[in-house]
Amino acid sequence: MLDNLKKYDIILASNSPRRKELMSGLGVDYVVRTLPDVNESYPDTLVGGEIPEYISREKADAYRSLMRPRELLITADTIVWLNGKVLGKPSGREEAIKMLRALSGKSHQVFTGVCLTTTDWQKSFTVASDVQFDDLSDEEIEYYVDRYRPMDKAGAYGVQEWIGYIGVKSISGSFFNIMGLPIQKLYVELKKL
Ligand SMILES: Cc1cn([C@H]2C[C@H](O)[C@@H](COP(=O)(O)OP(=O)(O)OP(=O)(O)O)O2)c(=O)[nH]c1=O
């Protein structure tokens, strides 16, 4: 599959273990490179899915000077969007607890922006998933935060972890998008190249 990609050396520039896992499941040859530090700020005119799409392009631009001809770069960014506000990665235990209390009993959206870059062109897209959380008790929230330390995850949760098992009532859209990479949409976009 995806024989059209043989003309490219595919690079996933990401420090996220979930993105590596999902990319590996696609069955194409690729290498992982460390992403240089990226300033993840964005213009305050952006909303929802525009935000991670913008940041995915910023991540690509941070890596671009290292690129060679033939290389196809993949970068991505995930945010949780609750009541018109971004929940990024929590700064510590207290913020993680606060975020999960805010998500408890409500539905929110997860947006992942993906950017495909070569030395000649750049293309980006966003995928949205809706997630409905059941009511979470303080005991459940603290158990999860202390045991799983979700400080590396947008919105302070991993849908693929215990909190997703016990707390997520329903999802509309791609599960893998919530985990950090909309792999089905990425496959469709790669097929077009
Ligand atoms: C909402 C949610 C997020 N996440 C993860 C996916 C992303 O790795 C992380 C959001 O942070 P990002 O800034 O999107 O990515 P990152 O810093 O982990 O990796 P990169 O080097 O590519 O910039 O949250 C889950 O694993 N499960 C979930 O349910």
Is the overall model pTM greater than 0.90, yes or no?
yes
Half-sphere exposure of 10 (CA within 13 A, CB side): 21
Q: CA–CA separation, 151 vs 148, rounded Å?
A: 9
Q: Give pLDDT, residue 105.
A: 98
| In the chain, domain spans | 3-191
Q: Give pLDDT, residue 20.
A: 97
Catalytic residue of the set 77, 120, 138, 152: 77
**Residue 14 tokens, joined:** 């990401």
Domain 3-191 has CATH 3.90.950.10: yes
Q: CA–CA separation, 60 vs 55, rounded Å?
A: 9
> Nearest residue CA, atom 24 of ligand 1?
153
For the question of residue 130 being annotated catalytic, the response is no
Q: Give pLDDT, residue 49.
A: 98
Atom number of ligand 1 nearest to Cα 35: 21
**Residue 26 tokens, joined:** 């696609």
Q: CA–CA separation, 70 vs 188, rounded Å?
A: 20
| Dist. CA 144 → ligand 1 center (Å) | 17
Q: CA–CA separation, 28 vs 3, rounded Å?
A: 9
> Nearest residue CA, atom 19 of ligand 1?
16
Residues with CB under 6 A from ligand 1: 14-16, 18-19, 35, 59, 76-78, 80, 89, 110, 152-155, 157-160, 178-180
Q: Give pLDDT, residue 1.
A: 87
- pLDDT one digit per residue (tens) for the chain, 193 residues: 899 999 999 999 999 999 999 999 999 999 999 998 899 899 999 999 999 999 999 999 999 999 999 999 999 999 999 999 999 999 999 999 999 999 999 999 999 999 999 999 999 999 999 999 999 999 999 999 999 999 999 999 999 999 999 999 999 999 999 999 999 999 999 999 9
| Dist. CA 96 → ligand 1 center (Å) | 14
Q: CA–CA separation, 187 vs 85, rounded Å?
A: 29
Q: Is 83 left (phi over 0), alpha (psi -120 to 50) or beta?
A: left
Asked whether this complex has an ipTM greater than 0.85, the answer is yes
Cβ pair 49, 111 in contact under 8 A? yes
> Nearest residue CA, atom 18 of ligand 1?
16
Q: Locate the DSSP E strands across 7-162.
A: 9-13, 31-33, 71-82, 85-87, 107-117, 122-133
